[in-house]
Each structure stands twice: as structure tokens, then as C-alpha cells.
């Protein structure tokens, strides 16, 4: 079946709409390069399109209450004593720097996971027994403001090469800016890839500061091209490292193409959205979040971040196109097929943090290939996968302007009409939350002292309210798709932040170097440490992608301190959360993410919580599922998260129904 052109063209004949819908739906779910065992989980997001959906239905609403721990594996990365410096492999790094955000993959009978310290470990997926491990021995004395984190690996299988070394390869990008290729059967480096199994990524991207340029999300692979982005330490200077996305040959490691999200040449049609000076020196706009791919269409979907620095754009006038966008690149050439910008001239750190997620929706009875772009602002942009055209109306609406000398903002920003925003905009002082009168009074005073003129109020010298905050909204946990219902399910965090600009006193010190201003930012919290925004502080939301209608919304998680204190209504308050959902054909949504060290299962139809599985540490990761030996497993990384302050550990935990 040829899905990329022939079927789509025949769909112009209205008499063939029904049959074409079936064919296109099949194409969206499977391609020759992406076809595989439905019992496995061969990509970070389940499939190349990042749907986080499994057709396995052994665990369902009727038996999920019987789920129990099948096996637990400790990676050995960090100490399990949350108050102490990490022991063993972590050396001089501290547990607060370590974030176990990985989602394992299962391919060809092996479970493969990356640790925060960039080790790759292969396990028997039925027992959790270690098969091999690869340790790139990254430096642990780096000053990394993004911390030690790796969200996963990518797997590739060469045609007709079974039984040879590196016939199957596992790829990992490291925080030290290396791309490693190892043999999936043994963990040995692939000698024909780059320099003995390694390609350096810290070349050709400008001046690189120690510890500030690396990779935290897994590469994507389209046929014989492995595509990798980068993670940069934010807010350091204007001329940060370039956020280039690059494609390498999976066998040799040869660079095939490089695409810079900041256009450097007048030959690029988006060059006009920059000044000549800014296009020459500005860094960032990098793709740190997970990418996705449509193999049949030869497309890689790249979520880009903010141009440098995040909170003042006076040195980069214009819309700054390709930054804060989803960009569809041709996987074989790196050429731009289309792009859609979600924020013009960003000064809020509203980068696209979620993996663009591929889905098939219906419009007027016909099947349409789409990509869902979830944002920190709580927006869902649903775009045509082949053109980037919005499938629901998007309006350019006027937004507040800056009073800071030298800053010129876009007069408008894009707002989707449907689906409606999933995060509230703004908090009035009278809406401030607090468990006590003193806390509420303190929060009211904090909020009243901040600039708030509506959504996209820019940073200023007196401080501005950011709600949604720069952490989201929807972050790297992204969305999961129920393929049967065509619903998207996502974790939406609701925390208030403030950002304040300060006139620079020393041109060589501080952050945002190269601009007249430094910045400070923080969560807006009461004296007791709780957010000043009214709860719930995270929600789990389901949206119908055919109609744009919100189907349900429920609080996610509980704050352990409030549970211990016996606070009434704690089950309605949710908790801050980091991580994403998994949807299965059994009618279930699985998610950890919250602060209470629990994996939960929800009914996809209603959002009703059906089950809780205790975890030995914080589950700030996205779960996955597979079936082996006739038994379905649900696995999540439980290692805690330095930024959220959850229980530390280095565990993988697998749940399953009791053996029959």
C-alpha cells in the first residue's frame, strides 16, 4: 500500500471517501518502517508518531484493581537516601540534580532504558533481569542548570542483517553532546558508527559552554536517518549555542544534513522575520523536547524552543519565525516542508515542550491526517499533517505590549478557538489560595503587586504574573491518543510564576548577557510554600479531537504534606506534576507524574480513578506497556525529580495481573 500520495489523491473523488478513510487510517497507524509487533513498544511514544497508545487490552476496567508489582529493577544511578549526596556512580553530583524522566522501549524481546547518567540498560521484559549495560561515562562534575536527565533511547533494525554486529542498534544522545550507537544484542559500541560508535554533537553550533549543551530527549529514526536535537542551558546570553537539528546516517554516523531553527541567510523565506544582526548572532530555538516522525511521508516533526534569551527580545526584533514552532522537516534532506508558530517573539519561555503527536481525525465524514501540538499555555493546536493548516480556527488576537525600553513585542498572538484553552488565564488577588488567613493575605498581596493585563502580559521591572507559568500547562509529558475515540488525554499543570527584569549593573556578569537586563523568576507561593493559585494544581483532561470538545477533567494527584496534615478536600486539590499519560485499548489511562509516589489508572470514558499502585519513589515519567508470554505489563520509571522535590530513587517498576 502506498499511503503518501496515491491513496490521498484518489480521495478527491467523493464516491471513494468512505473507502479512502479506511485506507488513510491504516496508513496513519502503520508504515513499512514503523510496522512491528503490536505487543511491543519500539519507540519513546509507543509509535513513531508519539501516540502513547497501546492496542493491548488484557488489563481493563474490570480487572485493573488486581494489578500488582511483577518486578522491580534498580539502575544503581543514585543513592536511595533522599537527604544525602548520591553514592556510587553519581559521584559528585547531588540527588537534586538527577531527574529520572525516561520511558523505556521494548523491541525484539528486550526492554531498553536510559538512566539520568546516560547509561543504557537492557532487561528481560518478563523478569526485569539485566542483560547488559552500556556506560558512556559522562562527566559528573559538570555545572548543568538543566540537571542530569535522559528521557529515552531510539532503536533501529537493519533489513537483511540479522546475526551481524549492530544489525540492530540503540541510539542515545548524552548530556555531554555525544550520539552513541550500540549493538542492541550486546551493548557493544558499533565500530562503524562515527568514531568507534560515537559522533560528537558539540561542533558546528557556535561557542559551547561547559555543561550547557547536550541532549536529553531520544533521537528519532526515519528509515536510515537518525535525527537528533539538543538541550541548552537557558537564559545565559544572546549568542548561545545554535539549536541545530541534524540528521546522521544510522550506519556510518556521517552527517547528512543540519537545519538551524534561526534562519541565517536571506535565501530562507523566514529570514525577514529577524533583523540582520539578530539572525547572525542569536542562539537557541533548539529542539530539546521529543520529536516525532511520519515515516511514509518522510517527515520529522520538530518542536522548537525560545530564541535566546527567554525574557527579553530587544536584541532579536521581529516574530522570530521557526522559534516556538512545530516544524515539519523532510527526514532525508532536512528541508522545511511547513511550519506553524505558536508564540511570536517569545519573552515568556513558552517553548514547545511536548512531542508533536500524530493522529487521524475525521472532518465531514473523511479521514484527515493530523498533528496535535500541545503548549505550555494549555492550548491544543490541531494541524493538517501534510500542510500545517489548522483544522480548527485560530485567531490572531491583540495582546499587552511592553513598557521596557528596547522591547518591541508582536501586537497579536495566535489563539485556537477550539479546543478551548485547558488552563485558566490569570488569577485575581481575591482568588488567591491559602490554608490560613495569613497565607491568603500574603498571596493576595503578592498577586496585587504584579503586572497583569491579560494573557501574554510581558516581563517588566515591577514583575509580571505568568499564569500559565513557564513550566506549563502541558510540558514534555505531552498527550496520549485514544485511537478508537480519537480523544487526546494530557496532564495540565497550574502553577503561578512571576518574572522580573532588572537593569544590568555589570555587563560581564549575571544572566541574559548581551542585553541591558538581567532577570529573576520564581513560583508565587504562600509562606507555607503552597502555590497561591487556587487548586487543583494539576488536572488530567480528555479532549475530543473530532469536535474540539472537552470530554472530562479531573484533579491529578495529592500533596503528601496535606494528606499527612489531614487537610479536608485534599483529593480535589491535585498536586504539581511532571510526566505524561498512557492510553490502552482496555479503556484505561495510566499516569504517575504527581508528587505522591503513585501510579494511577483512570477510566477513559469518565475520568474516574480506578486504581492506585504505590511506587518506591516519585514517578515523574511517562509509563509504557507491552505484552510478553501472554501477560501485559505496565512499566514506569520511579526515581523522583530534583525540581519537584519528590522521593529519590532509581527504580523501574513493572505491574501486571497475577499469573493465571
Torsion over CA: 512, 518, 524, 527 (sign): positive
Report the alpha-carbon distance of residue 459 to residue 66 in Å, rounded: 50
Helix (H, G, I), strand (E, B) or coil at 649: coil
Q: Strands 225-228, 120-123: parallel, antiparallel or unpaired by DSSP?
A: unpaired
Characterize 537-548 residue by residue with b for buried, 16 or more Cβ atoms within 10 angstroms of its Cβ, and e for exposed: bbbbbbbbbeeb
Our measurement of the distance from residue 196's CA atom to the centroid of its chain's CA atoms, rounded to an integer in Å, reads 30
**18: exposed, middle or buried (Cβ count in 10 Å: 0-12, 13-18, 19+):** exposed
Which of 349, 351, 482, 596 is flagged as catalytic? Answer: 349
The helix (H) or strand (E) run that includes residue 17 is: helix 17-29
Backbone angles phi and psi of 164, in degrees to 5: -95, 160
Of the candidates 339, 366, 367, 348, the residue with the CA atom closest to the CA atom of residue 307:
348
Torsion over CA: 521, 527, 531, 533 (sign): negative
Report the alpha-carbon distance of residue 375 to residue 287 in Å, rounded: 14
> What Å distances lie between residue 264 and 193, 440, 582, CA to CA?
30, 50, 39
Q: Does 349 qualify as catalytic in the annotation?
A: yes
> What Å distances lie between residue 270 and 240, 342, 530, CA to CA?
20, 15, 43
Backbone angles phi and psi of 359, in degrees to 5: -155, 160
Backbone angles phi and psi of 439, in degrees to 5: -65, -45
- Residues constituting the chain: 660
Backbone angles phi and psi of 182, in degrees to 5: -130, 155
Q: Are 517 and 499 spatial neighbours (Cβ–Cβ below 8 Å)?
A: no
Catalytic residue positions? 349
Amino acid at each position: 500500500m502506498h499511503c503518501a500520495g496515491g491513496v490521498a489523491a484518489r480521495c478527491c473523488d467523493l464516491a471513494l471517501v468512505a473507502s479512502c478513510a479506511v485506507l488513510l487510517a491504516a496508513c496513519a497507524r502503520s508504515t513499512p518502517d514503523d510496522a512491528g509487533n503490536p505487543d511491543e513498544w519500539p519507540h519513546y511514544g509507543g509509535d513513531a508518531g508519539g501516540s502513547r497508545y497501546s492496542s493491548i487490552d488484557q488489563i481493563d476496567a474490570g480487572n485493573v484493581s488486581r494489578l500488582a508489582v511483577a518486578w522491580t529493577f534498580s539502575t544503581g544511578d543514585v543513592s536511595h537516601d533522599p537527604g544525602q549526596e548520591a553514592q556510587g556512580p553519581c559521584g559528585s553530583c547531588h540527588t537534586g540534580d538527577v531527574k529520572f524522566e525516561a520511558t523505556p522501549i521494548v523491541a525484539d524481546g528486550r526492554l531498553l532504558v536510559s538512566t539520568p547518567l546516560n547509561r543504557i540498560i537492557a532487561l528481560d521484559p518478563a523478569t526485569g533481569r539485566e542483560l547488559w549495560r552500556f556506560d558512556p561515562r559522562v562527566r559528573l562534575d559538570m555545572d548543568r542548570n538543566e540537571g542530569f536527565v535522559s528521557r529515552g533511547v531510539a532503536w533501529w533494525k537493519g533489513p537483511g542483517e540479522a546475526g551481524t554486529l549492530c544489525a540492530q542498534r540503540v541510539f542515545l544522545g548524552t548530556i555531554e553532546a555525544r550520539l552513541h550507537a550500540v549493538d542492541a544484542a550486546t551493548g557493544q559500541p558499533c565500530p562503524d558508527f562515527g568514531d568507534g560508535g560515537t559522533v560528537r554533537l558539540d561542533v558546528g553550533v557556535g561557542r559551547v559552554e561547559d555543561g550547557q549543551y547536550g541532549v536529553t530527549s531520544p533521537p528519532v529514526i526515519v528509515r536510515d536517518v537518525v535525527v537528533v536535537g539538543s538541550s541548552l542551558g537557558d537564559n545565559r546570553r544572546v549568542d548561545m549555542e545554535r539549536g541545530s537539528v541534524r540528521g546522521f546516517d544510522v550506519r556510518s554516523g556521517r552527517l547528512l544534513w543540519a537545519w538551524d531553527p534561526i534562519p541565517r541567510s536571506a535565501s530562507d523565506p523566514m529570514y525577514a522575520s529577524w533583523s540582520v544582526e539578530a539572525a547572525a548572532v542569536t542562539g537557541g530555538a533548539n529542539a530539546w523536547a521529543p520529536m516525532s516522525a511520519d515515516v511514509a511521508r518522510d517527515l520529522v516533526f520538530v518542536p522548537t524552543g525560545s530564541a535566546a534569551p527567554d525574557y527579553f527580545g530587544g536584541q532579536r526584533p521581529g516574530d522570530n519565525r521557526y522559534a516556538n514552532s512545530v516544524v515539519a522537516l523532510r527526514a532525508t534532506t532536512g528541508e522545511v516542508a511547513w511550519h506553524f508558530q505558536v508564540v511570536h517573539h517569545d519573552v515568556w519561555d513558552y517553548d514547545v515542550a511536548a512531542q508533536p503527536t500524530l493522529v487521524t481525525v475525521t472532518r465531514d465524514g473523511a479521514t484527515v491526517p493530523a498533528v496535535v501540538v500541545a503548549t505550555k499555555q494549555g492550548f491544543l493546536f490541531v494541524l493538517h499533517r501534510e500542510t500545517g493548516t489548522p483544522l480548527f480556527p485560530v485567531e490572531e488576537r491583540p495582546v499587552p505590549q511592553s513598557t521596557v525600553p528596547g522591547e518591541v513585542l508582536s501586537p497579536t498572538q495566535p489563539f485556537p478557538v477550539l479546543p478551548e484553552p485547558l488552563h485558566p488565564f490569570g488569577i485575581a488577588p481575591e482568588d488567591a489560595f491559602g490554608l490560613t488567613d495569613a497565607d491568603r493575605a500574603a498571596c493576595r498581596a503578592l498577586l496585587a503587586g504584579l503586572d497583569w493585563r491579560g494573557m501574554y502580559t510581558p516581563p517588566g521591572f515591577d514583575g509580571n504574573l505568568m499564569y500559565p507559568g513557564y513550566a506549563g500547562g502541558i510540558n514534555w509529558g505531552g498527550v496520549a491518543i485514544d485511537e478508537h475515540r480519537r480523544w487526546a488525554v494530557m496532564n495540565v499543570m497550574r502553577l503561578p510564576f512571576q518574572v522580573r527584569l532588572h537593569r544590568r549593573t555589570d555587563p560581564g556578569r549575571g544572566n541574559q548577557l548581551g542585553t541591558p537586563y538581567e532577570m529573576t523568576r520564581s513560583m508565587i507561593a504562600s509562606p507555607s510554600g503552597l502555590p497561591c493559585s487556587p487548586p487543583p494544581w494539576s488536572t488530567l483532561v480528555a479532549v475530543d479531537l473530532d469536535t474540539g470538545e472537552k470530554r472530562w477533567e479531573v484533579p491529578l494527584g495529592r500533596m503528601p504534606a496535606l494528606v499527612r496534615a489531614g487537610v479536608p478536600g485534599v483529593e480535589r486539590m491535585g498536586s504539581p506534576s511532571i510526566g505524561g499519560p498512557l492510553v490502552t485499548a482496555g479503556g484505561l489511562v495510566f499516569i504517575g507524574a504527581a508528587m505522591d509516589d503513585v501510579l494511577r489508572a483512570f477510566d477513559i470514558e469518565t475520568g474516574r480513578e480506578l486504581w492506585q499502585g504505590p511506587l518506591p519513589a516519585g514517578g515523574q515519567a511517562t509509563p509504557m506497556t507491552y505484552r510478553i508470554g501472554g501477560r501485559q505489563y505496565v512499566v514506569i520509571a520511579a526515581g523522583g525529580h530534583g525540581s519537584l522535590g519528590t522521593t529519590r530513587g532509581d527504580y523501574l517498576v513493572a505491574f501486571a495481573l497475577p499469573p493465571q
